[in-house]
Structure 1
């Protein structure tokens, strides 16, 4: 399961080879114990992130929760999948259930914030993540999602300051691309171009390379260039390789209005 999430963040490549590993391990686990909740949770994530089938993923993780109602990780993943399916009321209920099992759970607090983010409730997202940072001031994803939320609210200066508060330890292709996107939206074309060059130089083998460059071009309103890089990603992987953990990705909304977007496998 950790490998799937690492793939979503671009640390390893999500492909059929990874799918085979996950399914083999899950089947081995279920052969020993047909009621292993964790195996169904891993299969659910594989069906969503690799096979792009959210309905099957939801079915599997729902079964995982039935098998072990106390499995907070399964409940949390169920909430994530429901949130990405826009079933927000059920998703929030699931995440609150997880928090009731473990009120000080960092992952559960983080998860509820993500559901608010999927919902487009950015003020609640920020508030929830600020509360999480009181529990864990070094939490990387809290800072990143706050920055994304501020970007959605067009508060670009605050979004940049949030990125500035991150330790250099957490510099990765996602944070670099997001900074480049913000600068592009602020009209800082030269700086945005420098971040494109930085991504090409430092993350040439990262599966998120094409999407990240396309993202900055989208911020610059250079749609032709953005679609060129998105098409390149699709040609390489069979779909647009992106960080699906953040849901729809509000930074790409303007591109979705272009007819060319319909030709992309963007799940």
Structure 2
């Protein structure tokens, strides 16, 4: 993380090019000159924040002997804006070489003696000193002469005695590194790929029951490739925006900001499975690789892993022995894996009926393989999303148990940390623990948009609007075509009371999908805050025709009727909500909201207390939701916030 460029740290995929590498090189050069990281933070998020916002540190603050020219070179490498950096690594190498030549003639440089092979470094003083030395030199002196000194240790420890000579030696190494970097990239620029989108595979058989298979293979490949170091992989929600559409691959690549696109076709006939895949270089639409696999359904897992390995080879990705790459296997049961794919297929639909099916399939996958961590993570996700209509006291404990079991099996599963954080925030109201889970998820996978989305929700609940919007912007940049990420950014503007920005963002979301229910459910609330009551009422009525989440739009409609003076209509809506609440779960906060609009505070607080007993999801937002403003001055409201664990 400490070597990311600002555009990488913010997930700005389209902005990433060779100049991001120059920023990373500047970080390495700074560290070599000072022994410290340029943007060291107390944790991953703090480091990312410093990369984006903190000024470039001064080398002289740590190493007073550093020449001004070196500081200038490093500062230009570490410019926040790519256009202000060196435009090629070759230019960096040339300037480093010029600086080295300037220092080369100094007497100090000529007096420095290189360490003999296998021996310790020596100098004219012949006395080891630690005063004023770098920490690494002090540690070497403390250890003693029990082992030879490396060339790197020699350069660092020698800075205290021959600072300019050591810097010159550093510049030799840096110049060689820059030249090598330039050579590697110039030789491989035509084949090295840094970004890829996996478009949804086509279900050739047109059998709707097999749609889970084509979607599942695509999503699994996205997840596998996302484990690769240094490769940007477009998330599912953005890639699947092109599902079922005839698209020009070059236009798709430009829209998503990627260099390569993987497409595929899946055909199943009985137990026979045929998968054809093609990897295309988007700039010229040339095929980098293509293959057809004719196997049995029982070979599905093996086929997918083989495809992933082939893609890694064609992308020219270097994976070290310590990195998992795409080789991380969660199950060896082909049957469990197919059930998991079905579970994810229905989970992605995000309807109450589909979520019931997803829970069934995830449980069946777990029965086939009790050690299948991803299946537990999927089960947790199915219980934790708002589209699940189960009462929180029934759904959330199941979500928590599934997430914790997933983490027992694999602590490095970012998705499970995020789901657990969601339960801790929205149900347990253990805010400190929730933040810890979100931060751990981001540490494990900084490109996991949902982690940033829900971490933004945490900041929102705390009333920290700038941080909430920043996290949601990052989520939206990571998944630019995701409906929920775009919606959540609008929600952040609404809670921050930037209503014009909220309207603009919700309208952008509806441009992606004109029938997206959450945007239709909340846009009217923004209109209400601007006094646009007619537009708010029309908006809620439109939302109710979409037959998705019902209680929220009904509560909003009743509230706007009440505050606009139409109390008879408000009471009609109130009565309907009460009637339905006797038959199925309705958040008590929905009924409380209408009473708040009517000015009946005692009834509003009575229903808010019922919401507290329900552990209603909506209570986490009471600190910032504008429609509760009429109750804020009442001591009972402050007491409720205290019980929910929110700051005053």
Q: TM-score, normalised by structure 1?
A: 0.88
Within a 5 Å distance, the mapping from 1:95-114 to structure 2 comes to: 95-114=472-491
Partner of residue 5, structure 1: 385
Partner of residue 591, structure 2: 213
Deviation (angstroms), 1:106: 1.7
Is the Cα–Cα contact under 8 Å of residues 10 and 243 in structure 1 kept in the other structure? no
> Is 1:157–2:537 an aligned residue pair?
no
Is the Cα–Cα contact under 8 Å of residues 517 and 546 in structure 2 kept in the other structure? no
The one of 431, 443, 446 equivalent to 1:66 is: 443
Deviation (angstroms), 1:130: 0.3
Secondary structure, counterpart of 1:142 in structure 2: helix
Partner of residue 177, structure 1: 555
Q: What are the Cα deviations for residues 177-230 of structure 1, in whole angstroms up to 9, with x where unaligned?
A: 111111111111211111111112123244445322222121111222222333
Distance 1:23 1:202, change over 3 A: closer
Distance 1:34 1:168, change over 3 A: closer
The one of 232, 247, 258 equivalent to 2:634 is: 258
Task: Return the alpha-carbon distance in structure 2 between the equivalents of residues 202 and 243 of structure 1.
Answer: 18
Q: What are the Cα deviations for residues 7-57 of structure 1, in whole angstroms up to 9, with x where unaligned?
A: xx7822112x54432232122212222200011001101110111122221
Larger RCO of the pair (alpha carbons < 8 Å, separation 6+):
1
Gaps of 5+ in 1: none
Distance 1:77 1:212, change over 3 A: closer
Q: Which moved more, 1:87-96 or 1:61-70?
A: 87-96
The one of 618, 631, 642 equivalent to 1:243 is: 618
Deviation (angstroms), 1:245: 6.8
Task: Return the alpha-carbon distance in structure 1 between the equivalents of residues 549 and 437 of structure 2.
Answer: 34
Secondary structure, counterpart of 1:184 in structure 2: helix
Q: What are the Cα deviations for residues 50-79 of structure 1, in whole angstroms up to 9, with x where unaligned?
A: 111222211211110110112122122222
Consecutive aligned runs of 4 or more in structure 1 exceeding 6 Å deviation: none
Distance 1:259 1:131, change over 3 A: same
Q: Count the aligned residue pairs.
A: 261
Higher strand share: 2
Deviation (angstroms), 1:107: 2.0
Deviation (angstroms), 1:252: 1.4
CA RMSD in angstroms, aligned pairs only: 2.3
Is the Cα–Cα contact under 8 Å of residues 173 and 203 in structure 1 kept in the other structure? no
Is the Cα–Cα contact under 8 Å of residues 425 and 620 in structure 2 kept in the other structure? no
Higher helix share: 1
Deviation (angstroms), 1:86: 2.3
Gaps of 5+ in 2: 1-380
Task: Return the alpha-carbon distance in structure 2 between the equivalents of residues 48 and 76 of structure 1.
Answer: 13
Distance 1:242 1:217, change over 3 A: farther
Is the Cα–Cα contact under 8 Å of residues 114 and 246 in structure 1 kept in the other structure? no
The one of 604, 609, 619 equivalent to 1:226 is: 604
Task: Return the alpha-carbon distance in structure 2 between the equivalents of residues 74 and 262 of structure 1.
Answer: 29
Q: What are the Cα deviations for residues 118-176 of structure 1, in whole angstroms up to 9, with x where unaligned?
A: 21111101100101111110011111211111112222111111112222413611111
Is the Cα–Cα contact under 8 Å of residues 144 and 163 in structure 1 kept in the other structure? yes
Task: Return the alpha-carbon distance in structure 1 between the equivalents of residues 466 and 577 of structure 2.
Answer: 38
Partner of residue 578, structure 2: 200
Q: TM-score, normalised by structure 2?
A: 0.38
Distance 1:105 1:219, change over 3 A: same
Deviation (angstroms), 1:246: 5.3
Distance 1:171 1:112, change over 3 A: closer
